[in-house]
């Protein structure tokens, strides 16, 4: 079942590479008492994800924070080392948290994973963006397969 607006984010864990090594980030820590923009995409270093999706959120991070957003998080079904390298390559810095969902547990819990085995990519996250306030989904924009229209940084800014 796919998560919907008004639903509480399920309890799962993500990973993030920090200067202290790989750290677990629980959904309770990520979303509790905060307004968070989360966007997910099929894979780090992939064409649309690298050319449009992540760069848009990096560029618009200050505008989102000015609208009350506490954190912006990028999620992909990659490992924490890949997400860290991609974030450094893209200049994410402290603007966007680069969160690894290596086993697709978060994506599965949201009902937003898909099988990309036909492309040699295994299980992946659908492309989406959502606004979460204190653990509750307030806006959710899931892309149609192959599209990049409703989950952009500009689309999220329009709902903040």
- Alpha-carbon gap, residue 69 to 23, rounded angstroms: 23
Per-residue pLDDT tens digits for 99-114: 999 999 999 999 999 8
Compute the average pLDDT of residues 16-25. Answer: 96
User: By the 8 A CB rule, do 61 and 95 touch?
Assistant: yes
Please give the Cα distance from 109 to 10 (Å, whole number).
Answer: 6
Q: Of 14, 30, 49, 75, which residue is the catalytic one? A: 49
- Assess contact for 72 and 57: CB atoms under 8 A: yes
pTM of the model: 0.95
* Cβ contact 25:34 at 8 Å: no
- The alpha carbon of 140 is separated from its chain's Cα centroid by a whole number of angstroms, namely 12
Question: What token pair was written down for 118?
Answer: 């036909």
pLDDT tens per residue across span 56-88: 999 999 999 999 999 999 999 999 999 999 999
Which H helix or E strand runs over 74?
strand 71-76
Banded pLDDT at 46 (limits 50, 70, 90): confident
Once rounded to an integer, what is the mean pLDDT over residues 3-24? 97
Q: Is the pLDDT of residue 117 over 80?
A: no
Angle made by CA atoms 124, 153, 43, in degrees to the nearest 5: 20
User: Closest Cα to residue 130, out of 115, 143, 118, 147?
Assistant: 143
* Active-site annotation holds for 74: no
Q: What is the mean pLDDT of residues 120-148?
A: 92
Closest CA relative to residue 34, chosen from 151, 134, 150: 134
């Amino acid at each position: 079942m796919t998560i919907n607006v008004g639903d509480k984010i399920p309890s799962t864990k993500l990973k993030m590479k920090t200067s202290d090594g790989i750290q677990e980030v629980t959904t309770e820590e990520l979303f509790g008492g905060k307004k968070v923009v989360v966007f997910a995409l099929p894979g780090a270093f992939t064409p649309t994800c690298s050319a449009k999706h992540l760069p848009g959120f990096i560029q618009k991070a200050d505008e989102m924070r000015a609208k009350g957003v506490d954190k912006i998080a990028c999620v992909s079904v990659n490992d924490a080392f890949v997400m860290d390298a991609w974030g450094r390559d893209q200049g994410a810095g402290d603007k966007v948290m680069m969160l690894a969902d290596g086993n697709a547990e978060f994506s599965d819990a949201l009902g937003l994973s898909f099988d990309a085995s036909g492309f040699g990519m295994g299980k992946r996250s659908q492309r989406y963006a959502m606004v979460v306030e204190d653990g509750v989904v307030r806006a959710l924009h899931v892309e149609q397969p192959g599209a990049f229209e409703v989950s952009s940084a500009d689309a999220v800014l329009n709902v903040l």
